[in-house]
Structure 1
């Protein structure tokens, strides 16, 4: 386990950047915004925030970040994506714009806006056994124009599913190796357990 604080970047082009930086700082990580290719090389791990995935994709390419990020992810850099971040980390998209690209890394197919539009946003209690107290104490998950996972490869671990309602059984949190993604936005709540889980993962793998 790393003795020094891990340096975790938050892709700072669009979306819930400040919220992620705040939680990371509270957990003792060195939290930095990432906007330039050189900054990609200076971090131990990356968070891709919630936001608008098509805009994020365009900005990643406009800022010449796509290839540096793909290279680091392929090399094993830990990453966490929330909502739009899940879309950006997926290898495949359903119902996406023809020109939309992703960074990849997760062997999953993700459907954008699967739960509906902004007016269909909702909160739902999830049990995530991988989290501290995740079986006993449910996580209050906030879904905003959220995606879900429609298909996943054999190396992908399901961390959480919707438990009630019309979407019961839908996969909304996954992990594959050093990459974690959720359909929901833990950064907008005061429950830091998802970030705590990711920071712990980073501390275990960073030399």
Structure 2
């Protein structure tokens, strides 16, 4: 049975003096979740590590970090988290997904590992390791629509988005390849904003919760 995400009842409306800071879950199965926690805390959010389905309850948004996409897939299924997470995202839970997290939620994967699956909630076709191996990692500054004109971005074995569905808005590109999109409440990035000191991405995400 899919766990549905319910908003915390103690939060008031915008500007309410008793409105608590938003509670953001961070998928903590593997990869760079600690760096996301640091960035979210720095912009005023509360955080909760998510490893079990019950830990999705009551959060205001979720971050799905980078790491190894095939490992994220296997662990999320082994721990019974894949279907509840899919259901929460389909129900409109705001999400920030980065690098391998983008592959975990994409509808179609190119270059997937044998047996690798995805949640299929983000209507894009994404290519795994599109910029090459670890040695081909690079840093750059991007203009990301709705976030900022000078966003620091770290690309490590990053995917690219080869095609998008009609409900998906392209936010940024590098080397002619789409690397950031928005679909409803899901913001998906090919890069790692959490590995920089630039908090624009996390501040924008938390500001919408």
> TM-score, length-normalised on structure 1?
0.90
Equivalent in the alignment of 1:148: 160
Within a 5 Å distance, the mapping from 1:89-168 to structure 2 comes to 89-131=105-147, 134-135=148-149, 138-162=150-174, 168=175
Task: Give the count of matched residue pairs.
Answer: 193
Equivalent in the alignment of 1:44 = 60
**183, 186, 193: which one aligns with 2:190:** 183
1:125-158, Cα deviation, whole Å (9 max, x unpaired): 2112311xx23xx222110000000010111111
Shift in Å, 1:98? 4.1
Larger CA deviation: 152-161 vs 99-108: 99-108
Quote the Cα distance in structure 2 between the aligned partners of 1:57 and 1:110: 15
CA distance in 2, matches of 1:125, 1:29: 25
Aligned residue runs from structure 1 range 56-71, under 5 A = 56-71=72-87
Contact residue 53 and residue 84 of structure 1 kept, 8 A: yes
Q: CA deviation at 1:43?
A: 1.5
Please list the CA deviations of residues 66-123 of structure 1 after superposition, one character each: whole Å capped at 9, or x if unmatched. 1111111111111111100111121111121341111232110000000001011011
> CA offset at residue 56 of structure 1?
0.7
5+ long unaligned stretches in structure 2: 1-12
Structure 1 runs of 4+ aligned residues shifted over 6 Å read none
Of 181, 186, 193 in structure 2, the residue corresponding to residue 174 of structure 1 is 181
8 Å Cα contact 1:107/1:152 also seen in 2: yes
Structure 1: segments with no counterpart, 5+ residues:
163-167
